């Protein structure tokens, strides 16, 4: 499954600092090689879909169309949907397919520009001022009067607020990637309103403004941006307006079976059908947290591990905690297990 064009995926937590420049120069060579491939992949929605399939990400037409449009129109995609339907995974897989590095920004309450865009290296600045104190005297030697000293200092003026003292955070890094990259802004609904407004400039013009330096524009290729949201709050209209809006619902039985097939290929078809039917039935019940695709996959792996061939009520009861995450839900479903299992087995 690993193709030759695959590039390293860089996962960055905000605050972590990885020097991207240290990646080997072979990257450029690889990109050139994969350029043909990318052209072929992005030629049509079907080709893109097939490529996603090949990377074990089974997607609907809608999803493939979204990525297709995002690639050609260079517009950010806002992905919404219940947790666990593969929103983040879509961004990651797209990065792999396009052979771009992935820069990820995890949002949380209180995230601000210092953690998302840039920060000054204050420690370094302080240290340098202390060290340079002596040099300062030299510089100022012979200066007559206050005015002249100040004007001499001005010549050195902005050194402390130059690139050397700039600590780029994910958003700035994404803009400075030479070859372009996939920028994944995860769970944007968790961030504050202010941060959303901060994103607007980046999303529409692919640039950010740093007061001390000026405006930083995207290098040759603007990044492909994916934003994910779990709908814990409404995203502002201004942000939505700038994005392609993709809603990923829970998959239907057919699609989910294909996903399980791609992810857990060892599982026998009959069991696969049974467990997917069971999960689909479960989603219709009134639950605190309905099982998502990731839970289905986990369950499939669990059943595989237990050498299951057919679902039976006792087994389902024993493994219910894999798919349901609240005791309340487990208690509620417990009664229904025989009926649901029966339905699933007959399917």
Partner 1 sequence: MDGTLTSFIAALRNAEVRVSTAETLDALSAVELVGYDDRELLKNTLSLMLPKTVDEKETFADTFDRFFAFEDVDGALDAGDAGGDGQGNGDAGTGAGGGEGAPGAGAGNRKSKNAFLAAATKGEGEEELGHGEMASPRSSLGQLLMLDSRVELTVRMVEAAKAVNLEQIQVFTQKGLYTRRIMDEMGLPGLQREINELRMRGGLPERRLSQELSKRRERLREQVRDYVERQFLLHADATGRRLREELLRKVKLSNVEHRNFRLIQEIVFKMAKKLVALYSRRKKVFRRGHLDLPRTLRGNMGYDGNIFDLKWKSVKVDRPKVFAICDVSGSVANYARFMLMFLYSLEEVMPRVRSFAFSSDLAEVTELFERNGIEDAIAKTLRDYGGGSTDYGQAFEDFRHKCLDDVDNRTTIIILGDARNNYGDPRTEILKEMHDRAKRVLWLNPEPRATWNAGDAEMRRYIAYVHQAEECNSLLHLERIVGNLLRTVQ
- Contact residues for partner 1 (CB under 8 A)? 45, 61-62, 65-66, 69, 72-73, 75, 80, 109-110, 114, 119-120, 122, 125-126, 129-130, 192-193, 233-234, 237, 240-242, 244-247
Q: Smaller CB distance to partner 1: residue 45 or 143?
A: 45
State the nearest-atom distance from the C-beta of 94 to partner 1, in Å. Answer: 15
Q: Smaller CB distance to partner 1: residue 68 or 278?
A: 68
Q: Give the Cα separation of 222 and 161 in Å (integer).
A: 25
Q: Smaller CB distance to partner 1: residue 126 or 159?
A: 126
Q: For residues 174 and 199, is the Cβ–Cβ distance under 8 A?
A: no
State the nearest-atom distance from the C-beta of 26 to partner 1, in Å. Answer: 33
Q: Smaller CB distance to partner 1: residue 51 or 119?
A: 119
State the nearest-atom distance from the C-beta of 339 to partner 1, in Å. Answer: 30
State the nearest-atom distance from the C-beta of 245 to partner 1, in Å. Answer: 5
Q: Smaller CB distance to partner 1: residue 80 or 186?
A: 80
State the nearest-atom distance from the C-beta of 123 to partner 1, in Å. Answer: 9
């Amino acid at each position: 499954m690993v193709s030759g064009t695959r590039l390293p995926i860089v996962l960055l937590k905000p605050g972590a600092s990885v020097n991207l420049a240290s990646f080997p120069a072979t990257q450029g060579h690889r990109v050139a090689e994969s350029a043909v491939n990318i052209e072929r992949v992005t030629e049509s929605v079907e080709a893109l879909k097939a490529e996603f399939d090949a990377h074990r990400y089974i997607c609907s037409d809608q999803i493939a169309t979204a990525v297709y449009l995002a690639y050609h129109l260079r517009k950010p995609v806002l992905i919404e949907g219940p947790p666990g339907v593969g929103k983040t995974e879509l961004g990651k897989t797209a990065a792999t397919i396009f052979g771009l590095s992935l820069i990820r920004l995890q949002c949380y309450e209180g995230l601000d520009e210092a953690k998302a865009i840039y920060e000054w290296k204050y420690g370094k600045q302080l240290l340098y001022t202390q060290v340079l104190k002596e040099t300062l005297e030299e510089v100022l030697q012979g200066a007559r009067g206050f005015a002249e000293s100040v004007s001499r200092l001005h010549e050195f003026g902005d050194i402390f607020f130059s690139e050397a003292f700039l600590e780029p955070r994910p958003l700035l890094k994404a803009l400075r990637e030479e070859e372009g990259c996939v920028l994944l802004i995860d769970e944007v609904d968790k961030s504050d309103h202010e941060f959303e407004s901060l994103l607007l400039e980046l999303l529409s013009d692919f640039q950010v403004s740093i007061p001390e330096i000026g405006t930083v524009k995207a290098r040759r290729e603007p990044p492909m941006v994916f934003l994910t949201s779990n709908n814990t709050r409404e995203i502002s209209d201004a942000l939505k307006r700038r994005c392609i809006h993709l809603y990923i619902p829970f998959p239907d039985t057919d699609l989910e079976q294909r996903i399980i097939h791609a992810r857990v290929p060892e599982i026998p078809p009959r069991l696969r059908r049974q467990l997917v039917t069971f999960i689909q039935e479960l989603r219709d019940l009134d639950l605190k947290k309905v099982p998502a695709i990731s839970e289905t996959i986990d369950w499939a792996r669990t059943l595989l591990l237990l050498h299951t061939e057919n679902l039976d009520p006792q087994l389902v009861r024993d493994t219910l905690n894999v798919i349901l995450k609240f005791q309340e839900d487990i208690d509620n479903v417990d009664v229904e297990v025989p009926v649901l299992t029966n339905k699933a087995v007959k399917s």
